Structure formats: structure tokens, C-alpha cells
């Protein structure tokens, strides 16, 4: 019986190894593993940090605008926002001109947490930058945005 392949590099991936989706997924999982090591002491998941960062950059944005920005529907966004609100990081305030929607804002604790995490996330990004050049990084981001736009429901 032949030996069992120990790593992906030893495994013949066949046509799968040439697919964009598979390679995106593997790269994303590797990135998340290093991200989680960087922020392990914060207890904040990657996309929750994205929420904090976007609300920080866009104070008063609505939940609908946030969902659109991070490509999440209300059913998956609401529990994350509930968690961030319960942790005292984000507040929801009813909009005066539209009582059906809420403005999102970071609390002082949310701003502090976001700034602390930003340092850790930047360290994670620097780790990724060791693997590719600045030009490759810019091209990769442009290609990822092109894919996102091309596959968008909008």
C-alpha cells in the first residue's frame, strides 16, 4: 500500500489545484490561522473587526449600509452586531429621519478596542507582506475586488 500523503504539497491536487475557488479558500484559511494567532487575546473574529473598523470610519452608518459594505445579509449581521453591542463596543441609535433604521457608532471602549486590534491586524498584514511584493499585493487586491464585483448580486 502506498504511503499516505502528509501535506497538500505532497498531494496531487489534479484539476482542483488550478481552480480559483480552491486556492482562494486555502489562502483564506491560512490567513485566518495567522490572524487568529495575532489577535488571540482579544476574542474578536476577523469580520467583527471589519465591522468595528467600518463603523469607526463611517460613524452613523446604517446596519443596511454596513451589510452592503461587507456583503452580509441582515440575518448574519444582526447576531454579530448584538454581540458587539452587548460587549459595549457599538451602539445602535434610531435615526431621527427614519425610525425604522439605526445609526451605528463605536463607544469609547469600541474605539479603544478597534485601535488595539488595528495594531495586531497591521502586524498580521506585515506578515503577509513578507510573502509578496508591494506590486503583487496591489495586483492581488485589485483582482480580488474584480472577482467580488463580478460575482456581486448588485
129 pLDDT higher than 90: yes
Whole-angstrom distance, CA of residue 55 vs CA of residue 66: 8
Residue with cell 492581488: 140
151 band by pLDDT with thresholds 50, 70 and 90: very high
Is 5 a member of any domain? no
Is 7 a member of any domain? no
* Mean local confidence (pLDDT), 12-26: 95
Look up the CATH number of the domain holding residue 69.
1.10.10.10
Count of domains forming the chain: 1
Is 11 a member of any domain? no
Domain interval for residue 70: 17-151
How far from each other are the two terminal CA atoms of the chain, in whole angstroms?
52
Is 3 a member of any domain? no
5 pLDDT higher than 50: no
Please give the pLDDT value at position 106: 98
Is 30 a member of any domain? yes
* Mean local confidence (pLDDT), 115-143: 94
Amino acid at each position: 500500500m502506498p504511503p499516505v500523503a502528509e501535506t497538500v504539497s505532497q498531494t496531487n491536487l489534479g484539476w482542483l489545484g488550478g481552480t480559483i475557488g480552491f486556492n482562494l479558500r486555502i489562502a483564506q484559511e491560512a490567513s485566518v490561522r495567522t490572524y487568529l494567532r495575532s489577535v488571540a487575546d482579544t476574542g474578536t473574529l476577523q469580520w467583527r473587526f471589519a465591522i468595528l473598523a467600518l463603523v469607526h470610519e463611517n460613524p452613523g452608518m446604517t446596519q443596511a449600509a454596513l451589510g452592503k459594505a461587507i456583503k452580509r445579509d441582515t440575518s448574519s449581521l444582526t447576531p454579530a452586531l448584538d454581540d458587539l453591542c452587548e460587549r459595549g463596543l457599538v451602539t445602535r441609535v434610531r435615526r431621527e429621519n427614519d425610525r425604522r433604521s439605526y445609526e451605528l457608532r463605536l463607544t469609547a471602549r469600541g474605539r479603544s478596542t478597534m485601535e488595539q486590534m488595528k495594531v495586531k491586524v497591521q502586524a498580521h498584514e506585515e506578515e503577509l507582506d513578507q510573502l509578496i511584493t508591494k506590486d503583487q499585493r496591489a495586483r492581488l487586491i485589485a483582482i480580488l475586488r474584480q472577482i467580488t464585483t463580478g460575482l456581486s448580486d448588485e
